[in-house]
Copies of this chain bind each other. A is one copy, B any other.
Amino acid sequence: MKNKPNTTTLQTLSLKLGISVSTVSRVLNGKSEKYRISKKTQEIILNAAKELGYTPNQVARGLRLNKTNTIGYIIPDISNPFFSSIAQSIEKFARKLGYLVLISDSEESTDIESQTIKIFQERKVDGLIISPVGQEIDHINQLKANNTPVVLIDRFFPDSNIPFVTSDNYNGAFSAVSHLIDNGHKNIACIQGLHDTMPNIERVRGYREALKANGIEVDENIIVGNSFGEANGYIETKILLKRKEIPTALFAASNLISLGALRALKEEGLNVPDDVSIVSFDDQPYSNFLATPMTSVAQQSSEIGSIATKILIDRIESKREFESHGIFLPTKLIIRKSVKNIKS
């Protein structure tokens, strides 16, 4: 037999105390001042509420106020530490501001992403943070039409006016590749992430520009890959190593890519940095403890998360429209041991 769960409502209190529901509501919502409820009544209500273990029903409240104090976060891969630390900061920050976060992993699928947006709307989330798969935008634009505030993280759409928070991927890549060049490298391969996503486009652009700035010709044959995942890093490295002239250095567009590259290198019995140098995007707690501590481009993931949350909630509460199009956070090149100086 199921025992009835605690189901003390405003009614229960009202009936029990012979005080109207509205008064009870007002007191329990801290509006005693505003309505000048007598101290006595306040006390009675507060006591009874505590005694009966009154728990406000936020679902009812949400329906009435058309405000759920919930935001949704759609994330392409929770288990990727870059994203999980963003998720952490979003949740923490949102909670501080009185919001809960519904999370959903899109598994890098636009379909799931689109589906989830719909579901989140049915749930009446007050706003949405999305780290989009990144190649389609229609389903996201449709939120605009629906007047649901959205903020994008990491991947964004330069031609739309949806606000976003991301890293300065261009300069991050530029400094990484420059570092390689400064150490005498010329034959530098680029293992890129998902094509047509802004972070990837910007990272590759940074790569190209760094080469050009140093008078090195860009060789399209060694700009390879099409995913931020580990497998991509592995496969492309395997193939790169079969070239007549093996690149002396690798620029990896993500932490997972460099892990895959490491796996391939190891299999082929090649050493970092003696045989091949690497610089990778995304710094991780383990980066310093790898076989060769990895020189990497650190992103400010926590800050990205909290800034996005702040912008979103400001819009929800219409404290202000976020006027600028997007925010780029600086990255930082952390130099370790994975780059060998091969200047003759």
Please determine whether B289 and A266 come into contact, CB atoms closer than 8 angstroms. yes
In the complex, are the beta carbons of A289 and B259 less than 8 A apart? yes
**Are the CB atoms of B100 and A101 closer together than 8 Å?**
no
Q: Bound state CA distance, A100 and B92, in angstroms?
A: 19
Measured CB to CB, the closest approach of chain B to A275, in angstroms, equals 16
Q: Tell me if A3 counts as interface (CB < 8 A to partner B).
A: yes
| Cα–Cα, bound, A79→B85 (Å) | 5
Partner of A6, one of B100, B123, B145: B145
A29 CB–B CB distance under 8 Å: no
Chain B residues with CB under 8 A of A85 = 78-79
A37 at the interface (CB under 8 A from B): no
Point out the residues of chain B lying under 8 angstroms from A145, CB to CB.
Answer: 6
- Given A58-B124, A147-B2, A289-B266: A91 and B104 within 8 A (CB)? yes
Starting from the known contacts A59-B62, A290-B291, 19 additional A-B residue pairs (CB-CB under 8 Å) come to: A4-B147, A5-B146, A6-B145, A56-B122, A59-B63, A63-B63, A70-B102, A77-B88, A78-B87, A78-B91, A81-B81, A91-B104, A100-B104, A101-B102, A101-B104, A259-B289, A263-B288, A291-B291, A291-B292
* Alpha-carbon distance between A254 and B202 when the two chains are bound, in angstroms: 37
Please give the distance in Å from A254's CB to the nearest CB on chain B. 13
Answer whether residue A31 sits at the interface, using C-beta atoms and an 8 A cutoff: no
B84/A78 in contact, CB under 8 A = yes
Chain B residues with CB under 8 Å of A18's CB are: none
Once the chains bind, are A100 and B79 in contact (CB under 8 Å)? Answer: no
Specify the main secondary structure of chain A where it touches its partner: mixed
Shortest beta-carbon distance, A79 to chain B, in Å? Answer: 4
Contacts of A215 in B (CB 8 A): none
Pairs A–B under 8 Å by Cβ, sample size 21: A3-B147, A55-B121, A55-B122, A58-B122, A58-B123, A59-B124, A77-B88, A79-B84, A79-B85, A84-B84, A92-B105, A100-B102, A100-B104, A100-B123, A101-B102, A230-B285, A256-B285, A284-B286, A286-B290, A289-B290, A291-B292
State whether A91 touches B105 (Cβ < 8 A): yes
- A194 beta carbon closer than 8 Å to chain B: no
Chain A 69-85 near chain B by CB (<8 Å), digits 1 or 0: 01000000111010011
Output the least CB separation between A322 and chain B (Å).
15
Q: In the complex, what distance in Å separates the CA atom of A101 from the CA atom of B74?
A: 12
